[in-house]
Copies of this chain bind each other. A is one copy, B any other.
Amino acid sequence: MIYYSSYCKHLVAVDCIIFGFDQEKINILLHKRKFEPYKGNWSLFGGFLNEKENLDAAAVRILNSLTGFTNIYLEQLFTYGNVDRDSERVISVAYYALIKTDQYSSFEGGEYDAVWFPLEELPELILDHNIMVNKALRRLRRKASSEPIGFELLPDKFSLPRLQRLYEAIYGEDFDKRNFRKKILSMGLLEKLNEKDKTESKKGAFLFRFDKDKYDELIGKGEGFEL
């Protein structure tokens, strides 16, 4: 039985803000739009929702088809629904993604024609995409201090100096090395490995791994991640 046929229907798009970390700063992946209108201008990765497709699934599909990424952290951000935000009336549901860039190293300039831009050097984007990026960044900052999403931007094994540089990049400020270690280790969520990362120093820095099981256990007890 069809009940809602008298109501008007709308185009629904999904746009993805993709964050990556290159050991030094947070970057956003952009590409030049492939279709009209605004063809050739810098844009987030977006597409339209299909007829029998869950919203989250559309985000995964669009991300994969435009970048090749699979199995990445993806979270709904906000829905933009002003009538005049695009040349036609389109509702856009924005998602943001966190990429472990080490898994997609030789990426730039490849088949996907995507370019990483540092946060401070973003070009002008089409439509309201700059606004979306801003909101995504605020969300990333908030979430990174209350949930362990930062690890989604790092390889599975990482050194503490690298983790610290990540958080410094996210918040745009420097932290004290000793205080940072103390706090992050005191949560008991990092497993220290018997390996070192020697790419950044001669001495080498011990590698750690985020312990998801222990995190789930803490969540069960009403505790969790707090930086």
Residues in chain A within 8 A of chain B (CB atoms): 1-4, 7-12, 35-37, 48-56, 58, 76, 78-83, 87-91, 93
Q: How far is the CB of A9 from chain B (nearest CB, A)?
A: 4
Number of copies of this chain that the complex holds: 2
**Chain B residues whose CB sits within 8 angstroms of the CB of A12 once the complex forms:** 9-10, 12, 81, 91
Question: Are B81 and A1 in contact, CB atoms less than 8 angstroms apart?
Answer: no
Question: Are A3 and B51 in contact, CB atoms less than 8 angstroms apart?
Answer: no
**Chain B residues whose CB sits within 8 angstroms of the CB of A55 once the complex forms:** 79-82, 91
**Chain B residues whose CB sits within 8 angstroms of the CB of A93 once the complex forms:** 79, 81, 91
Q: Given A9-B10, A76-B78, are A53 and B4 also a contact pair (CB < 8 Å)?
A: no
Bound Cα distance from A122 to B103, whole angstroms: 46
Chain A contact surface mostly: loop
Q: Given A1-B87, A3-B37, A4-B88, are A79 and B76 also a contact pair (CB < 8 Å)?
A: yes
Q: A11 touches which one: B9, B52, B82 (CB < 8 A)?
A: B9
Bound Cα distance from A92 to B20, whole angstroms: 30
**Chain B residues whose CB sits within 8 angstroms of the CB of A35 once the complex forms:** 3
Residue on B nearest A58 in the bound complex, by CB:
B81
Q: How far is the CB of A96 from chain B (nearest CB, A)?
A: 14
Question: Are A91 and B91 in contact, CB atoms less than 8 angstroms apart?
Answer: yes
**Chain B residues whose CB sits within 8 angstroms of the CB of A10 once the complex forms:** 9-12, 49
Q: What 8 new A-B contacts, CB under 8 Å, besides A1-B37, A52-B89, A55-B91?
A: A3-B35, A3-B37, A4-B11, A9-B10, A51-B89, A55-B82, A79-B79, A91-B93
